[in-house]
Structure 1
Amino acid sequence: MIRKKSRREESLDHAELARLLPAPGDPHLSLDRHLVLEEHLMNEIRRTEPASVPSHRPARRALLIGVPATAAALAGALWLTPLTTSGSSDTATPTPPPVEAPIVRIEPGSTAQLAATVERIAAAASVDDTHEPDPDQYIYVKSKVSYLTVSHTDTDRSKTLVQPPHIREVWLSPDGKQGWLEEPGYRSEGGVTLDSDTERDVNSPSYDYLKTLPTDPDALLKKIYEETEGRGNSPDQQAFTTVGDLLDEQLAPAKLNAALYRAAARIPGVVVVEHVKDAAGREGIALARVDQQSGDRTEWIFDRRTYAYLGSRAVQVKEANGIKPGTVLENTAVLERAVVDAQKQRPGAQGTAT
Structure 2
Amino acid sequence: MDELDLIRERAEAVGFATAEDLAPARARLVAATRTGRPRRWFWAAGATTIGLAAAITAVVTLTPADRIGVGAGVANADPVKVLTEAAGAALAEPATAPRPDQFLYVKTALPEHRTREVWLSVDGTRDGLIDGTKSAGCRDGKAPVYGANNPKLEGTLEDCQPYPAYRADLPTTADAMFAYLEAHHSGEKGDTNALGKDVVALAYEQALTPASYAALFAAAAKVPGLTALDHVTDGAGRPGVGITWPVPPGSSPEAKPEVLVFDPATHRFLGTDSSAVVVKTFVDQAGQRP
Report TM bin, short chain. 0.5 to 0.7
Matched-pair contact (CA < 8 Å) for 2:191–2:247: no
Gaps of 5+ in 2: 1-72, 139-159
Matched-pair contact (CA < 8 Å) for 2:193–2:258: no
Instruction: Kindly report which structure 2 residues correspond to 1:58-69, keeping only aligned pairs within 5 A, or say none.
Output: none
The counterpart of 2:282, out of the listed 323, 335, 339, is 339
Instruction: Kindly report which structure 2 residues correspond to 1:241-320, keeping only aligned pairs within 5 A, or say none.
Output: 241-292=197-248, 293-294=251-252, 295-313=255-273
The counterpart of 2:168, out of the listed 211, 215, 222, is 211
Aligned residue identity for 1:195: A
Aligned residue identity for 1:333: A
The counterpart of 1:121, out of the listed 67, 86, 90, is 86
Distance of 2:75 and 2:225 partners within structure 1? 10
The alpha-carbon distance between structure 1 residues 276 and 214, as it changes in their structure 2 partners (threshold 3 A), is same
The alpha-carbon distance between structure 1 residues 138 and 277, as it changes in their structure 2 partners (threshold 3 A), is same
Matched-pair contact (CA < 8 Å) for 2:93–2:210: yes
SS of structure 2 residue aligned to 1:133: coil
Aligned residue identity for 1:345: Q
The alpha-carbon distance between structure 1 residues 299 and 109, as it changes in their structure 2 partners (threshold 3 A), is farther
Aligned residue identity for 1:143: T
* Larger helix fraction of residues: 2
The alpha-carbon distance between structure 1 residues 289 and 345, as it changes in their structure 2 partners (threshold 3 A), is same
Cα deviation for residue 228 of structure 1 reads: 2.8
The alpha-carbon distance between structure 1 residues 270 and 179, as it changes in their structure 2 partners (threshold 3 A), is farther
Cα deviation for residue 232 of structure 1 reads: 4.4
- Please state if 1:194 is matched with 2:121: no
1:310-335 deviations in whole A, cap 9, x for unaligned? 1112xxxxxxxxxxxxxxxxx11111
Distance of 2:75 and 2:216 partners within structure 1? 20
Aligned length: 193
Matched-pair contact (CA < 8 Å) for 1:165–1:279: no
1:1-30 deviations in whole A, cap 9, x for unaligned? xxxxxxxxxxxxxxxxxxxxxxxxxxxxxx
Distance of 2:204 and 2:79 partners within structure 1? 21
Cα deviation for residue 123 of structure 1 reads: 0.9
1:222-256 deviations in whole A, cap 9, x for unaligned? 12211237x44744332222111111222111100
- Please state if 1:132 is matched with 2:89: no
Matched-pair contact (CA < 8 Å) for 1:114–1:272: yes
Which of 1 and 2 has greater Rg? 1
Paired position in structure 2 for 1:173: 121
The alpha-carbon distance between structure 1 residues 130 and 222, as it changes in their structure 2 partners (threshold 3 A), is closer
The alpha-carbon distance between structure 1 residues 300 and 280, as it changes in their structure 2 partners (threshold 3 A), is same
Distance of 1:169 and 1:232 partners within structure 2? 30
Aligned residue identity for 1:240: G
Paired position in structure 2 for 1:225: 182
Matched-pair contact (CA < 8 Å) for 1:125–1:254: yes
Paired position in structure 2 for 1:320: none
Distance of 1:274 and 1:132 partners within structure 2? 36
Cα deviation for residue 337 of structure 1 reads: 0.8
Distance of 1:246 and 1:135 partners within structure 2? 19
TM-score normalized with structure 1 length? 0.50
Distance of 2:188 and 2:202 partners within structure 1? 19
1:195-236 deviations in whole A, cap 9, x for unaligned? 143436xxxx6344x21122111121112211237x447443
Distance of 1:166 and 1:180 partners within structure 2? 21
